[in-house]
């Protein structure tokens, strides 16, 4: 046994299958020992007897908008919020940076920015857009997690949506490169038609917006994406599925042998369309929030193990972009990255009896497995990076304006009391967040899928 840098004594370790009282020994950023009653000398020891120790959250879905739109968020403030929530690795989406991440040059620009100011580890999604098919290979060589495409308008002018033809071509290439394709699945035909009809009739309220993006539009797109994945043999990940029916479609396809997984987000599990009607712009997202029955069906599917991952889809914007009278013109995107874990603990574990290992699988080990980081990330095991979230399940906190780390302090959860605050976040053995404060300089490194070479 090497001399330890850090020893966590007596915490309740959340494994993928159960809870175990174990000591964790850490040296050189890695977990080197995991056993009860560990005898070893260590430079630092933490009494964790009252804490649950989760593997660091891996948020596979954030929009930090850097470089180019750093005034919307940026890696510095975005990753502070993540560290507060026990997150140690995130995957940034390709579309809100400027330039968008659609080729090697734009990947390199983003890498430079993230290295300079990210507090936690990171990976990047590459874009799949109509004019970058010939750049997918260079993005794969850079180590992108996969390729993200929009099946409906992305809201960002320089990130065009794909039609079924481009999506098929992109999936064929991604399959050859052994890369996953993630889609925003809403039917462009349906959402565009309904939105134009509303606008033509001068109807621009929150209710009108909700009605323009029905569940059917989501199901239609999921079915087409799944069919293309089956046809091309491409691995597919449906991001931000908002309803149980969507999860069901993915489950049916999995049974048929299609390589497809799905993500949902805390806001679909916690909020309903009534919250969007009441809170307005701060709760606008696409697909939109759904009625309470749909939310409960989503929890049922999650409890049954049919949801594969939960990501925040943190998508912030300056306040002035949230002010239009016309709700269709308000920037859509919820700021949520800071509270993913406490939201799932409060609404899932404490309110609905979801067990802690399942919550941890959705936030960590399933993400690492699906996106090819299985030996380093996602699980508390010997040999893995010492990425840990120490959580006090006996405590609670109120979501307050002054405690938000976002550049623009907006949250649809403001004023809510959440259970299970993160007491400490550890990245590769170093404490980055403790008792409400950021206590480290940016240490984040690029994480690359393990089977990097196609």
- Determine whether 67 is exposed, middle or buried from the number of CB atoms within 10 Å of its CB (0-12, 13-18, 19+): middle
By CB under 5 A, residue 313 contacts Zn ion: yes
Residue 59 vs 385, nearer CB to Zn ion: 59
Residues 27 to 66 in contact with Zn ion, rule: CB under 5 A: none
- Between 6 and 217, CB nearer to Zn ion: 217
Nearer CB in complex with Zn ion: 155/303: 155
From 39-47, 202-210, 313-321, 415-423, span contacting Zn ion (CB under 5 A): 313-321
In terms of C-beta density within 10 A (0-12 exposed, 13-18 middle, 19 or more buried), how is residue 446 classed?
Answer: middle
**Binding region for Zn ion (CB under 5 A) out of 146-154, 310-318, 357-365, 421-429:** 310-318
| Cβ at position 22, least distance to Zn ion in Å | 36
Question: Judged by CB, which is closer to Zn ion: 218, or 313?
Answer: 313
Best CA proximity match to 105, nearest among 125, 73, 135: 135
Per CB under 5 A, the segment of 196-204, 312-320, 401-409, 441-449 that binds Zn ion is 312-320
Number of residue whose CB is nearest Zn ion: 313
Question: Least distance (Å) from Zn ion to the CB of residue 367?
Answer: 15
Query: Minimum distance between the CB of residue 238 and Zn ion, rounded to whole angstroms?
Result: 12
Stretch that binds Zn ion, among 78-86, 139-147, 306-314, 339-347 (CB under 5 A): 306-314
Least CB distance to Zn ion at residue 17 (A): 30
DSSP string, 84-147: HTTEEEEEE-SSSSSS-S-SHHHHHHHHHHHHHH-SSEEEEPEE--TT-GGGHHHHHHHT-SEE
Going by C-alpha positions, the residue among 193, 397, 153, 387 that lies closest to residue 286 is: 153
Whole-angstrom distance, CA of residue 164 vs CA of residue 93: 21
Sheet holding 57-62, edge to edge: 57-62, 87-92, 121-124
The least distance separating Zn ion from the CB of residue 243, rounded to whole angstroms, comes to: 17
Cross-strand pairs, 30: 27, 385
Among the residue ranges 78-86, 136-144, 309-317, 398-406, the one whose residues contact Zn ion (CB under 5 A): 309-317
Question: Nearest distance from residue 413's CB to Zn ion, in Å?
Answer: 18
Which positions from 343 to 382 touch Zn ion by CB under 5 A, shown as an x/- string? ----------------------------------------
- Which span (82-90, 143-151, 307-315, 384-392) binds Zn ion, by CB under 5 A? 307-315
As a whole number of angstroms, the distance between CA 28 and CA 284 comes to 43
User: Buried b vs exposed e over 285-319: b needs ≥16 C-beta within 10 Å?
Assistant: bbbbbbeeebbebbbebbeeebbbbbbbbbbbbee
Count CB neighbours of 83 within 10 A. 32
Shortest separation between residue 406's beta carbon and Zn ion, angstroms: 16
Cβ at position 3, least distance to Zn ion in Å: 44
Nearer Cβ to Zn ion, position 198 or 267?
267
User: Least distance to Zn ion from the beta carbon of 95, Å?
Assistant: 8
Least distance to Zn ion from the beta carbon of 185, Å? 12
CB nearer to Zn ion: give 61 or 424.
Answer: 61
Q: Which one, 24 or 87, has the nearer CB to Zn ion?
A: 87
- Tell me how far, at minimum, the Cβ of 63 lies from Zn ion, in Å: 6
# chain residues binding Zn ion, by CB under 5 A: 1
Determine the interface stretch with Zn ion among 4-12, 128-136, 158-166, 308-316 (rule: CB under 5 A): 308-316
Nearest to 244 by CA among 292, 296, 308, 291: 296
Which residue reads 């574990």 in tokens? 349
Cβ closest to Zn ion, residue 15 vs residue 261: 261
Comparing CB distances to Zn ion, the nearer of 103 and 313 is 313
Contacts of residue 176, Cβ cutoff 8 Å, sequence gap at least 6? 454
Helix, strand or coil, per DSSP, at residue 277? helix
* Residue among 48 and 183 whose Cβ is closer to Zn ion: 183
Per CB under 5 A, does 92 bind Zn ion?
Answer: no
Residue (23 or 263) nearer to Zn ion, CB: 263
Give the separation between CA 378 and CA 386, rounded to whole angstroms.
10
Cβ–Cβ < 8 Å for 89, 59: yes
Cβ-count burial 90-106 (b if 16+ within 10 Å, e if not): bbbbbbbbbbbbbbbeb
**Residues ≥6 apart with Cβ < 8 Å to 204:** 198, 325, 326, 327, 328, 329
Positions touching Zn ion (CB under 5 A) are 313
């Amino acid at each position: 046994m090497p001399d330890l840098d850090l020893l966590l004594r007596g915490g309740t370790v959340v494994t993928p299958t159960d809870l175990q009282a174990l000591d964790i020994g850490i040296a050189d950023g890695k977990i080197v020992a995991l056993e009860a009653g560990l005898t070893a000398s260590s430079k630092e020891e933490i009494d964790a007897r009252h804490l649950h120790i989760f593997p660091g959250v891996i948020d596979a879905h954030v929009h930090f908008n850097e470089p180019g739109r750093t005034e919307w968020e940026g890696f510095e403030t975005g990753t502070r919020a993540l560290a507060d929530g026990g997150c140690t690795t995130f995957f940034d989406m390709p579309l809100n940076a400027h330039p968008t991440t659609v080729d090697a040059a734009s990947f390199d620009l983003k890498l430079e920015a993230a290295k300079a100011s990210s507090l936690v580890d990171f990976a990047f999604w590459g874009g799949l857009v109509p004019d970058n098919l010939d750049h997918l290979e260079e993005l794969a060589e850079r180590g992108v997690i996969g390729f993200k495409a929009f099946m409906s308008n992305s809201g960002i002018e320089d990130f065009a949506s794909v039609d079924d033809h481009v999506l098929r071509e992109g999936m064929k290439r991604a399959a050859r490169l052994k890369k996953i394709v993630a889609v925003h699945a809403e039917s462009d035909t349906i959402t565009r038609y309904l939105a134009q009809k509303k606008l033509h009739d001068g109807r621009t309220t929150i209710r009108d917006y909700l009605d323009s993006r029905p569940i059917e539009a989501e199901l239609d797109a999921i079915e087409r994406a799944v069919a293309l994945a089956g046809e091309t043999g491409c691995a597919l990940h449906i991001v931000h599925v908002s309803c149980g029916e969507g999860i069901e479609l993915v489950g049916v396809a999995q049974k048929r042998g299609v390589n497809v997984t799905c993500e949902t987000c805390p806001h679909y599990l916690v909020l309903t369309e009534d919250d969007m009607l009441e809170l307005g712009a701060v709760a606008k997202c696409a697909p939109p929030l759904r009625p309470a029955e749909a939310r409960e069906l989503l929890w049922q599917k999650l409890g049954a193990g049919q949801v594969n991952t939960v990501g925040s889809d943190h998508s912030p914007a300056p306040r002035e972009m949230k002010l239009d009278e016309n709700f269709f013109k308000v920037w859509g995107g919820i700021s949520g990255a800071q509270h993913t874990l406490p939201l799932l603990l409060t609404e899932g574990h404490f309110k609905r009896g979801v067990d802690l290992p399942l919550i941890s699988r959705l936030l960590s080990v399933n993400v690492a497995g699906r996106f090819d980081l299985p030996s380093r990330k996602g699980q508390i095991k010997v040999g893995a990076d010492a990425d840990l979230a120490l959580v006090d399940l006996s405590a609670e906190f109120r979501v307050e304006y002054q405690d938000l780390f976002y550049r623009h302090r907006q949250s649809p959860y403001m004023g809510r009391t959440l259970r299970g605050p993160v007491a400490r976040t550890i990245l590769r053995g170093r404490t980055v967040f403790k008792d409400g404060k950021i206590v480290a300089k940016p240490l984040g490194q690029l994480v690359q899928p393990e089977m990097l070479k196609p």
